[in-house]
Amino acid sequence: MVSLLFLLFQFLSFSVQAQSGEWETPPTRTTEFIFKGFRENNSEIQTEGAAAIEPDGLLRLTDENLDVTGTAFYRKPVRLLDHSNNLNYSTTKEAEVCSFSTSFVFTFVPSNSSNGGGFGFTFTLSPTPNRPGAASGQYFGLLNETNDGNPMNHVFAVEFDTHATGNHIGLSFNSVTSDVQIPVAYTTDDDVKDGFELEPIIVRLDYNGQNQVLNLIVSFAKLPITPSTPSISHIVPKLSEIVQEEMYVGFTAATGKYRSSAHYLMGWSFRSCRDGLTADMLVLQELPLWQQLNMGNKNKDDQSMVTKILIAASVIVSTLVVLGVVAFFIRKRKTSNAQRRKNLKALTPLKHYHYKEVKRFTNSFACVVGKGGFGTVYNGNLPDGRNVAVKVLKDSKSNGEDFINEVASMSQTSHVNIVSLVGFCYEGSKRMIVYEFLENGSLDQFISTSASSVAEWRRRLYEILLGVARGLEYLHYGCKTRIVHFDIKPQNVLLDCNLCPKVSDFGLAKLCEKKESIMSLLDTRGTIGYIAPEMISRVYGGVSHKSDVYSYGMLVLEMIGATDKDTVENTTSNTTSSVYFPDGIYNDLENEQESRLYGDDLTKEEEEITKKMILVALWCIQSYPSNRPSMNRVVEMMEGSLDALEVPPRPVFQAPIAPLQECSTLSGDVSVYIVK
Ligand SMILES: *[C@@H]1O[C@H](CO)[C@@H](O)[C@H](O)[C@H]1NC(C)=O
Ligand SMILES: *[C@@H]1O[C@H](CO)[C@@H](O)[C@H](O)[C@H]1NC(C)=O
Ligand SMILES: *[C@@H]1O[C@H](CO)[C@@H](O)[C@H](O)[C@H]1NC(C)=O
Ligand SMILES: *[C@@H]1O[C@H](CO)[C@@H](O)[C@H](O)[C@H]1NC(C)=O
C-alpha cells in the first residue's frame, strides 16, 4: 500500500515535471529585424490609410494632406510575454513582459513652413496590425474620442507630437494623453534649440523586462554624439497590463484639420525577448535619407517641364484660347512646384541668388575678407540683416548641374562644427557660395589671439581642436555621401564669436578640380605641410578620408607648436619648421624633455591634454593611411583618457616612385617634405 502510494506520488510528480518541462521551453519566440529603408519590403510591412512605402524606400506614414491618418505595422505578430520565469504557468497574467529594443530614424516635412505643420506619429504596441476607427489630429491615428483611455484598448504608444507649438515626446498607455512627457529640445554649445529641427531624428527605445525600466534616447542626426543619458527613463509597470500574448509593433500617424506634415520613416530595427541585447544600430548612411527630396532631380524635372511648356507656348502662340489653356497649366504647375520648393526649403534652407543681388549685398565686392585656394571671400550683408561671406569660385570645372547638386549636398550638411551655407549664385561662369560670416577669422589668426596665460591658451586650443575633429567626423560619417575635405589647414577652420570652430571650404575640392590624377590634385589642392603622403605618391596607398586625418594631425601639431607665439608666426610661413618633422617631438617624448614641449607654467591637467593632443596627432600622421585612426576614433581618443593612448611608431617617409617634376611650383617644398 505504501509502495503504491509512493508509486502514485512518483507518477504525479513525474507528470507535473513533464508539464513544467513543457513550459520550460517557453512559448516565447524572439523577433528580430532591421529595415534599412523599406524598398521591396511591402510583404513585411502592412500599411493602411495615408501610409505607403515610397519607390525610393522611405516609409511614408502620412502625406501632407489635412486630416488624414496612416498606420504601418510589422506584419507578423510579436510575442512579448515571457513565461519562463513564471512558476504559476497556469495563468498568463503572471507572465512578465519580456525585454525589447527598437530603433528608428524619422523625419517630417511641414506642408506650411509658416505654421510649422502637425500633428504627429507614434510607435505603438497594438493587439491589431491596424487601427480601425482611429481619428486624426491629436488622436494620432491610434485611438478616437470614444475609446481614448479605455483599459480594453491594450495599446502602448510612444508619441511624437510634431505640432510646432507643443512638440513633445510622451509615453501613453491606452490613451493619447501621455503619462510621461518631455518637451523636445537639444542643447548645442551655445544655446538650447527647441523642437524637431527638420533633421533626421534617431530614436532608440529599450525596455528591460526584469526591472520594467523603459529608456528612450532621442538624438538628432545634426548633433555628433548620441546623448549618454536617456531623455526618458521610467519604470512602466503598466505595460504588463497592456501586453497580450501576441502584439503587433508599428507606427501610427496623423495630420490635423488645419495643419499637416508628411511623416517619414527611413529605417527601423527591432529585437524582442533577448535580454541584454539592443536592436541593431541604424547607420544613417545606409538609409534612404534625402532621396525623397533630392534637389538635383527635382530641378531637372522642373526645368524640363518648364522647357516643354515654353515650346508648347511658342507653337500655339496664335490662338488666344489655347494660350489661355497653357496659362492655366503653367499656373497649376507653378503651385505644385511652389509646394515642392517649400518642402525643399524646409530641408535645405538654401537660396539661389542672382548675380545682381550678390553684387548689391556685397556692395560690389568691396570688402575682401579672405583668399583661399578656391577663390576670394567677400563680406556681405543680406537685406534681412545677416552678415554673410561670399566665396567667388575661381575656376569651377563642373557643369552647372553638378555645381547645383554639389552645393545642394553641401547644404544638407548641417552641424555645429561646419560652416553653414546660406545660398549660392550660379549665372554662367559666375559661381559663388554664400555662407555664414564668422567674426573671429580663421584658426591661424587664433595663434596671435591673446590669452591670459599659455595654460589658458592651451585649454582653449584643446576645445577648438576637439571641435574641428567633430566637424570632420561629421563630414566623413554624418552625411549622406562622405565628404572628404582634402584641404584641412588652420586657414580653413573659422572661429565664431565664441571661438567655436567651424570647418569651411569643404566639398569645394570636388567642384574646383578634376579628379583624374593625383598630380592634377596637387596643382591646386592641398597645402604643403598638411597634405598626406599618399596625395604625393601612391606608394603610401590610395587617397581617401584618411588623407584628412593626416592633415588634421599636422594641424594639431602646428597649433601645439604655436605655444611660443613669436615662433609660430615665423613657423606658419616656414615649411622647414620642425613641426613638419615630428622627430623632435618623438625625441622629446622619449627623453621626457617635456618642458620644451609643454612650457613651464602648465598644470598637470594641461600637461595631460597637451600630451594627449600630441599623441593623437602622431597617430594621425602615420605614413600609411591604414595605420591612421578614423575621425570617429580621433574624437574618442581626444575625449578619452591619456592613459589609454600608446605612443605611435615613428612615421617613415619613402621617396616617391615618380619624381614630381611636373609640379614645378611645388617640387622644391615637396622634396624638402619627403626627404625626411
Ligand atoms: C526587405 O527586403 C529585402 C529585399 O527583398 C530583404 O533582403 C530584407 O531581408 C527585407 N527586410 C526584412 C527585415 O524583412
Ligand atoms: C502562484 O499563484 C498563487 C495564487 O495566485 C500565489 O499565492 C503564489 O504566490 C504564486 N507563486 C508564485 C511563485 O508567483
Ligand atoms: C500657412 O499658415 C499660416 C499661419 O497659420 C496661414 O496664415 C496660411 O494661410 C497657411 N497657408 C496655407 C497655404 O495653408
Ligand atoms: C472608435 O474606435 C472604435 C474601435 O476601433 C470603433 O469601434 C468606434 O466606432 C470608433 N468611434 C468613432 C466615433 O469613430
589: domain CATH number is: 1.10.510.10
Residue 57: nearest ligand to its CA? 1
* Distance (Å) from CA 135 to ligand 4 centroid: 9
Q: Which residues are CB-neighbours of 152 under 8 A, at least 6 positions away?
A: 174
Please tell me which residue in 444, 487, 505, 548 is annotated as part of the active site.
487
> Looking at residue 439, what is its pLDDT?
81
41 lines ligand 1 (CB under 6 A): yes
Pocket test for ligand 4, best of 126, 147, 148 (most atoms within 8 A of CB): 147
| Domain limit, last residue, from 416, 437, 458 | 437
Nearest CA to ligand 1 atom 10: 41
Nearest CA to ligand 1 atom 14: 44
44 lines ligand 1 (CB under 6 A): yes
Residue the block writes with cell 597634405? 531
Residue 66: nearest ligand to its CA? 3
* Distance (Å) from CA 112 to ligand 3 centroid: 6
**What residues flank ligand 4, with Cβ below 6 Å?**
132-133, 144-147
119 with 264, same domain: the answer is: yes
Atom of ligand 2 nearest to the CA of 94: 14
Pocket test for ligand 2, best of 86, 87, 88 (most atoms within 8 A of CB): 88
> Looking at residue 403, what is its pLDDT?
77
> Does a structural domain hold residue 88?
yes
Please state the rounded mean pLDDT for residues 42-69.
Answer: 93
C-alpha grid cell for residue 191? 544655446
> Looking at residue 287, what is its pLDDT?
82
* Distance (Å) from CA 74 to ligand 2 centroid: 35
> Does a structural domain hold residue 312?
no
Pocket test for ligand 3, best of 115, 257, 260, 334 (most atoms within 8 A of CB): 115
Residue 91: nearest ligand to its CA? 2
User: 100 vs 310, which has greater pLDDT?
Assistant: 100
Percent of the chain past pLDDT 70, that is, above it, reads 64
Q: If you average pLDDT over every residue of the chain, what do you get?
A: 73
Task: Assess whether pLDDT exceeds 70 at residue 24.
Answer: no
451 with 503, same domain: the answer is: yes
C-alpha grid cell for residue 649? 611608431
470 with 609, same domain: the answer is: yes
CB 344 within 8 Å of CB 298:
yes
CB atoms within 10 A of CB 463: 15
Nearest CA to ligand 4 atom 8: 133
Lowest mean pLDDT among 41-50, 152-161, 177-186, 198-207: 177-186
Structure confidence by residue, pLDDT tens digits, 284-298: 777 876 444 433 333
| Domain limit, last residue, from 437, 472, 505 | 437
Mean pLDDT comparison of 228-242, 392-406, 647-661, highest-scoring range: 228-242
> Looking at residue 313, what is its pLDDT?
39
87 lines ligand 2 (CB under 6 A): yes
Which pLDDT band, with edges at 50, 70 and 90, does 582 fall under?
low
339 with 480, same domain: the answer is: no
Atom of ligand 4 nearest to the CA of 135: 14
> Looking at residue 199, what is its pLDDT?
67
> Looking at residue 413, what is its pLDDT?
65
pTM: 0.47
The residue segments making up the domain with residue 331 are 319-437
590 with 660, same domain: the answer is: yes
320 lines ligand 2 (CB under 6 A): no
Q: Which DSSP category does 418 fall into?
A: B
Nearest to 109 by CA among 341, 351, 406, 424: 341
> Looking at residue 601, what is its pLDDT?
63
413 with 447, same domain: the answer is: no
> Looking at residue 352, what is its pLDDT?
80
> Looking at residue 448, what is its pLDDT?
67
Residue 249: CATH number of its domain: 2.60.120.200
Alpha carbons 544 and 106: distance in angstroms, whole number: 30
> Looking at the 3D structure of the chain, how many domains does it have?
3
Please state the rounded mean pLDDT for residues 505-526.
Answer: 51
618 with 661, same domain: the answer is: yes
Residue 32: nearest ligand to its CA? 1
Structure confidence by residue, pLDDT tens digits, 335-370: 343 443 333 333 344 678 889 999 999 999 999 988
- Give the amino acid at 134: A
> Looking at residue 297, what is its pLDDT?
34
> Does a structural domain hold residue 121?
yes
Which pLDDT band, with edges at 50, 70 and 90, does 265 fall under?
very high
> Does a structural domain hold residue 2?
no
33 lines ligand 1 (CB under 6 A): yes
563 with 595, same domain: the answer is: yes
| Domain limit, last residue, from 387, 410, 437 | 437
Active site residue 487: yes
398 with 489, same domain: the answer is: no
> Does a structural domain hold residue 184?
yes
> Does a structural domain hold residue 11?
no
Task: Assess whether pLDDT exceeds 90 at residue 153.
Answer: yes
Lowest mean pLDDT among 203-207, 227-231, 271-275, 298-302: 298-302
Task: Assess whether pLDDT exceeds 50 at residue 6.
Answer: no
544 lines ligand 3 (CB under 6 A): no
> Looking at residue 174, what is its pLDDT?
96
* Distance (Å) from CA 46 to ligand 1 centroid: 14
Task: Assess whether pLDDT exceeds 90 at residue 85.
Answer: no
Structure confidence by residue, pLDDT tens digits, 616-670: 999 999 888 888 999 989 999 998 888 888 888 776 654 333 333 332 223 222 2
Please state the rounded mean pLDDT for residues 14-42.
Answer: 63
Please state the rounded mean pLDDT for residues 76-84.
Answer: 84
CB atoms within 10 A of CB 173: 20
Task: Assess whether pLDDT exceeds 60 at residue 674.
Answer: no
Nearest CA to ligand 1 atom 11: 35
Q: Which residues are CB-neighbours of 2 under 8 A, at least 6 positions away?
A: none
114 lines ligand 3 (CB under 6 A): yes
Please state the rounded mean pLDDT for residues 484-512.
Answer: 82
Mean pLDDT comparison of 52-56, 306-310, 372-376, 510-514, highest-scoring range: 52-56
Distance of CA 456 to the CA centre of its chain: 32
Task: Assess whether pLDDT exceeds 70 at residue 376.
Answer: yes
112 lines ligand 3 (CB under 6 A): yes
332 with 289, same domain: the answer is: no
Phi, psi of 98 (to 5 degrees): -80, 165
Which pLDDT band, with edges at 50, 70 and 90, does 591 fall under?
low
> Does a structural domain hold residue 70?
yes
Lowest mean pLDDT among 193-207, 415-429, 462-476, 533-547: 193-207
> Does a structural domain hold residue 313?
no
By CB atoms closer than 10 A (0-12, 13-18, 19+), residue 275 is exposed
Please state the rounded mean pLDDT for residues 423-433.
Answer: 84
Task: Assess whether pLDDT exceeds 60 at residue 552.
Answer: yes
In 230-350, at which residue ranges do the beta strands (DSSP E only) sit? 232-235, 246-254, 261-272
Which pLDDT band, with edges at 50, 70 and 90, does 68 fall under?
very high
> Looking at residue 277, what is its pLDDT?
63
* Distance (Å) from CA 91 to ligand 2 centroid: 10
Residue 403: CATH number of its domain: 3.30.200.20
In 6-98, at which residue ranges do the beta strands (DSSP E only) sit? 32-36, 45-49, 52-53, 59-62, 69-74, 78-79, 81-82, 96-97
- Give the amino acid at 340: R
431 with 568, same domain: the answer is: no
Is residue 342 part of an annotated ligand binding site?
no
Task: Assess whether pLDDT exceeds 90 at residue 247.
Answer: yes
Task: Assess whether pLDDT exceeds 90 at residue 147.
Answer: yes
Alpha carbons 488 and 65: distance in angstroms, whole number: 46
63 with 151, same domain: the answer is: yes
* Distance (Å) from CA 293 to ligand 3 centroid: 22
CB 362 within 8 Å of CB 389:
no
* Distance (Å) from CA 404 to ligand 3 centroid: 30
Which pLDDT band, with edges at 50, 70 and 90, does 522 fall under?
very low
Structure confidence by residue, pLDDT tens digits, 119-142: 899 999 999 999 999 999 999 999
Which pLDDT band, with edges at 50, 70 and 90, does 551 fall under?
very high
